[in-house]
A and B are shown apart, each in its own frame.
Chain A
C-alpha cells in the first residue's frame, strides 16, 4: 500500500512499492526510483465515469502513478492535508483533490443546493474505501468534528471536504434585509449534523452567496 507523508506542508511525498496512486494530472514535481505516469480519462472511472463527469461538470484530469520509489506532488503551493479513510467516504470538490490511494474508489455524488451556493456546481467528488488521500486547501485546513450534540455551520466558501456519516442541509438567512442590500454577508451556511469530520480552509472562495 502506498505510504503518504508530508515532505513539507505544501509537498506530498508518496512511497510506492510496485503499487499505484491516482493524482491530479501534472501535479508531480519530482520523483526518485522508477515511475510510470499514465493519464486516466474520466477520472479513472471508465466510460461510465467519463460520461458522468462530463455531465455533472465535476471534471478532473487524473493520472495513474505506478512504480517503485518516492514520488513528490504539489500544486500551486496549496497547503496539503492528509486524510485517512477506514471504510469511509470522503466528499471533496474535485478541484481540491490532489492524490488518492490506488485502492480507493472515486465517484461523483449529488450535493444539492450547497454546491450551487459555492459556485462549484451541483455535484461533488466522493472517495470511498480504506486508505489515504491528500486534499488541498488555501491555507492549512482546520478539521472540525461534528457530533450529534454539536452540529456545525460552515460558510460555503470555506468548506473543502467532509467525511463520515453527516447529513448536510443548506441554511439561508435571506430575509427582507438582504433584499434591500443590508444583508449580513453570512446569509448562506451549510449545516452539518451527525457524526464525522469537516475540513474548512481559512479563506473564502468567491461564492454566489458571499456577497449576500
Chain B
C-alpha cells in the first residue's frame, strides 16, 4: 500500500507546488491577490477581503472608477500557508522580472501585489506588468515556445514579452467560392485548423496541452470609445455602410465578390 504523504505547516512548500494541481503560498504579513473561490485550505491567520475594502483601498475605490474586474478578486492578508487550486486543473507559478505577460483571463489564479494587473487591449486577456510571482491554471501542463510560431486559438494560454499576436488564416482554404462554401457549411472537410494565432518577434508563447478552454473570467467592460477593440457599438462605427438585413454577414466577401 502506498501511504499518502501527510502535510503540515512545517512540511508544506513555500510558494511552490504541492502536487501538479495544488499550489502553496506562504504569507508572512504580506498579501496576495487571488481569484474568488480558489483557496481550498489554509493554516494560520489569513483574512480574505474583497478588493476595495482595505483601509486605503476604500479611498481608491470611491475616487477611482476603473473598469477593473475588482469584484472577482480577493486580497489574502496575514501570515500562514494557504493552498490554491482550480477545478483540478494543472497549476504552475511563474516569475516575472521587470517583464510583462498577457494571459487569458480564466487562467490567472493569483499574483503578488508587486505586479500590476491590467486589462489587455485584446478582449478576454489580462496583462501583468512588473516583478513578482503569479500562479496560473491550465488544462494539462504548460509548454513554453519561442516565436515565430502559429498556435491554435484554444490552446493559447498567454504570451510574454512578445509583440504582435495576430490572426492567421490558411489562404487557400479561405478564398474563392469553394472556400466560402466550405467555411459556411463545413462540407468538403473542415479540419478545424484553418485559423491560428501567429506570433513573431522575441518572447515566449505559453500553450496548454489541450484545446479545452477554461470558462472565461469577466475582465470588466472596455471603455465605450471609438478605436477600442471590443469597445462595443461605438468602436465599430464609422467604417463602411451599416449591414443590411439581406446581406448575410460576410457572405459576399467570402465568395470573393
Contacts and interface: CB of A to CB of B under 8 A. Distances in A.
Nearest to B8: A145
Given A144-B43, A155-B41, A185-B37, 19 more contacts: A3-B1, A138-B87, A139-B22, A143-B5, A144-B7, A144-B8, A144-B83, A147-B8, A152-B43, A153-B46, A154-B41, A155-B39, A155-B40, A177-B50, A184-B48, A185-B50, A187-B48, A201-B40, A202-B19
B197 interface: no
B74 A184 contact: yes
A186 interface: yes
Q: Which bracket fits the contact residues of A?
A: 35 or more
Contacts of A81: 4
Interface of A: 3-6, 81-82, 84, 132, 138-145, 147, 150-155, 157-158, 173, 177, 181-187, 197-198, 200-204, 210
A210 B37 contact: yes
A173 B48 contact: yes
Contacts, number: 118
A207 to B, nearest CB: 9
Interface string B15-30: 0001101100000000
A130 B18 CA distance: 29
Interface of B: 1-9, 18-19, 21-22, 36-43, 46, 48-50, 52-53, 71, 74, 83, 85-88, 91
A138 B88 contact: yes
Nearest to B52: A182
Complex A-B, nearest 10 residue pairs according to Cβ-Cβ distance, in ascending order:
A139-B88, A185-B36, A202-B85, A158-B40, A202-B21, A145-B8, A186-B48, A203-B88, A184-B48, A185-B37
Nearest to A138: B88
A182 B42 contact: no
Nearest to A173: B48
Contact of B21 (A139, A145, A181, A186): A139
A59 to B, nearest CB: 25
Contacts of A152: 41-43
B18 A142 contact: yes
29 contacts: A139-B21, A139-B22, A140-B19, A142-B22, A144-B6, A144-B8, A144-B83, A145-B6, A145-B8, A150-B8, A150-B9, A151-B43, A157-B37, A158-B85, A177-B50, A182-B50, A182-B53, A185-B48, A200-B40, A201-B40, A202-B21, A202-B40, A202-B86, A202-B91, A203-B21, A203-B85, A203-B87, A203-B88, A204-B87
Contact of A153 (B2, B41, B74): B41
A131 to B, nearest CB: 11
Nearest to A207: B37
Contacts of A84: 1, 3
Interface centre among A84, A157, A186, A197 (most CB of B within 10 A): A186
Contacts of B36: 184-186
A191 to B, nearest CB: 10
A155 B37 CA distance: 8
A145 B4 CA distance: 12
A140 B21 contact: yes
Contacts of B5: 143
